[in-house]
Amino acid sequence: MFENVDLTLVDWSRAQFALTAIYHWLFVPLTLGLSFIIAIMETIYVKTGDEEWKRMTKFWMTLFGINFAIGVATGLILEFEFGTNWSNYSWFVGDIFGAPLAIEGILAFFLESTFVAVMFFGWNKVSKKFHLVSTWLVAIGANLSALWILVANAWMQNPVGMVFNPETARNEMVNFWEVLFNEVAVSKFLHTISSGFLLGSMFVLGISAYYLLSNREQLLARRSILIAGVFGLLSSLLVVYTGDTSARTLAKAQPVKFAAFEALYDGTQNAGLVAVGLLKESDRKIGEKGVNDFVFSIEFPSLLSIMTGGSKDAFVPGINDLVNGNEAQGIMPVSEKIMRGTRARDLLAEYKAARQQNDTERAGTIAAMFRDRDFADNYFRYFGYAFLNKAEDVIPDVKLSFYTFHIMVMLGFLFILEFALALYFLFRGTLMKNKWFLRVALFSILLPYVAGELGWVLAEMGRQPWIIQDLMPVSAAVSRIPAGSVITTFILFAVLFTLLLIAEVSIMIRQIKIGPKH
Amino acid sequence: MKRIVTSAERVVRFYYDGFRSMSWWGKRVWLIILIKLFIMFLVLKIFFFPDFLKKNYKTDEQRSEYVLDQLINSK
């Protein structure tokens, strides 16, 4: 597809965005989770007056501060990229993307310049209660800050609450609440922040395990494991629950992506949920694209139908149904969507021609059509399909989607087990007798990072070819700039972010080795 | 007026004392923040990340015209 677009440029622009987003996401989730753990510890300190809880709060706050400071503003680079590499997209989305990002920017600025400062500089200078309130506001504010970014991202996955204005070539927000409470945004926000809570808990659990293994800071470690164990267990259960609701919303909003998660090619009733599976290339094809078959799979019978449709008789469409259509199930083929999208695009071209010929009446009529709900729902909704050459272009990388999804889910269940075991050993008083578990907990600090990054790979790669679902493919969104400049900045970012990561890890390891102040 | 000045002084003093009594790690991360912000805003943003549409088109009309062309002719 997109014969007149330099695919090197598209690929490098995507690679650069992926690199910066992946690095950015190494810093964010720890801020989301650890801030709440610190707030809980400080609350216990204020309630009990026990100085050990204060010492613990200060210690974890140090690690929070290092991560927060090194990660701060790394997300701004993504905004630079929108203006330089993705200018067509940035213009097309108009204020829908800009408004949530602006709110996030203002919120983050006030949060960082006031309450974070009170958190770190305010011990013994403000009252205990005011300090505690500031710590909670940092935790709540950081998570609310994430909300606006996720609202913007969710709009790309499920564009709602807007109307396209052909005069400005931009989408304009007509319903802020529809954008904010977009069902993809709600489930994405809850899933993302709960995964951050989980990551923060695993971080605390792992470092506490390190202290126990080193025979240091026994009380701090045990109390931290208690908080991390409870908070982590609840968070990991919430991650599974919100993951399930996320998948349900995807089944409606992005059905091809959902089918790719499960490598489900042929829709069926009684569809089973694959727990584990291995894929291989098959001889079958959809258009020119190869199909993957299972070498083996272990399934929960009917569970996919029950999860998505509420009963085992519910039909779950496969990739084949979604590409070629399924009349019996009322699924429109992609070829029809291409025709409708092309109709919307032709009308846009007609609008432009009318404007150039000063035919204001015709231009006005077409502009009114774009505002009409019926036209928006039946034609403009498929605008992005006009850029496709073949129906099978809508199929993402199925193997990648399948494996990233299943590894992420397996890790999710492993985390539940780990937090449950941590609490079990803690209450039985056998943590020190189970050093294997402490070693596993220490190693597991990395795993929620892996799961979180896989989640983003899945969310973004699984929705290909779209940058805005059904409205704009990535290739139409990219700026026509030399690929060489994107490659240069890709290398610059790789170096900069790697240095930041090395700085964070080395300062953090040093502080962990020093331990809390006595 | 005097109250506002006193409050402002207290806020300034709060930050001043906070920065002065910062620990080793605090000073180190502030150095990293400043270097990072310098690289991001004074090197990357200015030399490598100009806004494509603002750089190449003077008015919003010209920008929308360009994007409209891209949307219509991208196939």
In tens digits, what is the pLDDT along chain A, a chain of 518 residues? 444 556 688 889 999 999 989 988 998 999 999 999 999 999 999 999 999 999 999 999 999 998 888 887 777 888 888 889 899 999 999 878 777 777 777 777 677 667 888 888 888 888 999 999 999 999 988 888 888 889 989 999 999 999 999 999 999 988 889 988 999 999 999 999 999 999 999 999 999 999 999 999 999 999 999 999 999 999 999 999 999 898 889 888 999 999 999 999 999 999 999 999 999 888 888 888 888 888 888 989 899 999 888 888 999 999 999 999 999 999 999 999 999 999 999 999 999 999 989 888 999 999 999 999 999 999 999 999 999 989 999 999 999 999 999 999 999 999 999 999 999 999 999 999 999 999 999 999 999 999 999 999 999 998 889 999 999 999 899 888 888 888 888 898 888 889 888 988 888 899 899 888 76
State the residue range of the domain holding A420.
Answer: 7-254+397-461+463-514
Give yes or no: residues A202 and A320 share one domain: no
Is A1 part of any domain?
A: no
In the 3-class helix/strand/coil scheme, how is A106-142 assigned residue by residue? HHHHHHHHHHHHHHHHCCCCCCHHHHHHHHHHHHHHH
Residues in chain B: 75
Selected residues 145-174 of chain A with any CB under 8 Å from a CB in chain B: 166-170
Give yes or no: residues A363 and A293 share one domain: yes
Give yes or no: residues A503 and A409 share one domain: yes
Is A305 part of any domain?
A: yes
Determine the pLDDT at residue A2: 46
% of chain B with per-residue pLDDT over 90: 12
Report residue A361 as tokens.
């009446």
Beta-strand pair A273-286/A289-300: antiparallel
Give me the total of CB pairs closer than 8 Å, taking one residue from chain A and one from chain B.
121
Task: Tell me whether B57 touches chain A (CB under 8 Å).
Answer: no
Cβ-defined contact of B68 to A352 (cutoff 8 Å): yes
* Nearest neighbour of A73 by CB, restricted to B18, B37, B54: B37
Chain A CB contacts of B15 under 8 Å are 117, 121
Nearest Cα residue in chain A from B10: A125
Determine the pLDDT at residue B44: 82
Cβ-defined contact of A348 to B72 (cutoff 8 Å): yes
Is A158 part of any domain?
A: yes
A272: left (phi over 0), alpha (psi -120 to 50) or beta: beta
What is the total count of domains within chain A? 2
What does the alpha-carbon distance between residue A249 and residue B56 come to, in Å, rounded to a whole number? 40
Where do we find the tokens 């919120």? A107
* Nearest neighbour of B52 by CB, restricted to A77, A481, A492: A481
Regarding predicted confidence, which is higher, B63 or B22?
B63
B41 by Cβ neighbours in 10 Å (0-12 / 13-18 / 19+) ranks as middle
Give yes or no: residues A155 and A189 share one domain: yes
CB A235 within 8 A of CB A198: yes
Is A274 part of any domain?
A: yes
Selected residues 56-115 of chain A with any CB under 8 Å from a CB in chain B: 62, 65-66, 69-70, 72-73, 76-77, 80-81, 83-85, 87-88, 90-92
Collect all residues with Cβ–Cβ distance below 8 Å to B7 and sequence separation of at least 6. none
Mean pLDDT value across residues B25-45: 84
Where do we find the tokens 């170096």? A495
Give yes or no: residues A266 and A287 share one domain: yes
Is A408 part of any domain?
A: yes
Give yes or no: residues A300 and A320 share one domain: yes
Selected residues 112-131 of chain A with any CB under 8 Å from a CB in chain B: 117, 120-122, 125
CB A274 within 8 A of CB A262: yes
Q: Which long-range contacts (CB under 8 A, 24 or more apart) does A27-30 make?
A: A27/A67, A27/A68, A27/A70, A27/A71, A27/A74, A27/A504, A28/A71, A28/A75, A28/A146, A28/A196, A29/A195, A29/A196, A29/A199, A29/A200, A29/A448, A29/A449, A29/A452, A30/A64, A30/A67, A30/A71, A30/A196, A30/A199, A30/A200, A30/A203
Using CA atoms, how far residue A423 sits from A161, A197, A206, A241, A363, in Å, is 45, 17, 13, 21, 68
A335 by Cβ neighbours in 10 Å (0-12 / 13-18 / 19+) ranks as middle
Nearest Cα residue in chain B from A89: B67
Give yes or no: residues A390 and A402 share one domain: no
Determine the pLDDT at residue A1: 45
Give yes or no: residues A107 and A139 share one domain: yes
Where do we find the tokens 């094809």? A285
Determine the pLDDT at residue A4: 52
Tell which of A343, A367, A396 closes a domain: A396
Give yes or no: residues A212 and A281 share one domain: no
Give yes or no: residues A113 and A60 share one domain: yes
Give yes or no: residues A133 and A26 share one domain: yes
Tell which of A345, A376, A396 closes a domain: A396
Is A2 part of any domain?
A: no
Q: Give the torsion sign (CA, A405, A410, A411, A415).
A: positive
| Predicted model pTM | 0.90
Is A318 part of any domain?
A: yes
Cβ-defined contact of B32 to A476 (cutoff 8 Å): no
What does the alpha-carbon distance between residue A122 and residue A257 come to, in Å, rounded to a whole number? 48
Regarding predicted confidence, which is higher, A425 or B73?
A425
Chain B CB contacts of A475 under 8 Å are 74
Task: Tell me whether B13 touches chain A (CB under 8 Å).
Answer: no
Cβ-defined contact of A507 to B25 (cutoff 8 Å): yes
* Interface confidence (ipTM) of the complex: 0.81
Task: Tell me whether B54 touches chain A (CB under 8 Å).
Answer: yes
Collect all residues with Cβ–Cβ distance below 8 Å to A318 and sequence separation of at least 6. A259, A264, A265, A266, A267, A268
What does the alpha-carbon distance between residue A376 and residue A302 come to, in Å, rounded to a whole number? 36
What does the alpha-carbon distance between residue A499 and residue A74 come to, in Å, rounded to a whole number? 13
* Nearest neighbour of A83 by CB, restricted to B49, B60, B68: B49
Tell which of A378, A396, A414 closes a domain: A396
Cβ-defined contact of B74 to A2 (cutoff 8 Å): yes
Cβ-defined contact of A117 to B30 (cutoff 8 Å): no
Determine the pLDDT at residue A107: 75
Cβ-defined contact of B72 to A345 (cutoff 8 Å): yes
For A514, other C-beta atoms within 10 Å of its C-beta total: 12
In the 3-class helix/strand/coil scheme, how is chain B assigned residue by residue? CHHHHHHHHHHHHHHHHHHHCCCHHHHHHHHHHHHHHHHHHHHHHHHHCCCHHHHHCCCHHHHHHHHHHHHHHCC
Closest among A436, A447, A437, A375 to A409, alpha carbons compared: A447
Cβ-defined contact of B75 to A4 (cutoff 8 Å): yes
Min CA distance, B3 vs chain A (Å)?
18
What does the alpha-carbon distance between residue A254 and residue A251 come to, in Å, rounded to a whole number? 6
* Nearest neighbour of B53 by CB, restricted to A91, A167, A348: A91
Using CA atoms, how far residue A256 sits from A289, A323, A329, A477, B52, in Å, is 14, 8, 15, 21, 33
Cβ-defined contact of B29 to A348 (cutoff 8 Å): no
CB A64 within 8 A of CB A31: yes
Closest among A494, A472, A504 to A22, alpha carbons compared: A494
SS3 of residue A431 by DSSP: coil
Selected residues 171-230 of chain A with any CB under 8 Å from a CB in chain B: none
Is A497 part of any domain?
A: yes
Cβ-defined contact of A83 to B40 (cutoff 8 Å): no
What does the alpha-carbon distance between residue B49 and residue A90 come to, in Å, rounded to a whole number? 14
Give yes or no: residues A105 and A179 share one domain: yes
Closest among A304, A277, A282 to A292, alpha carbons compared: A282
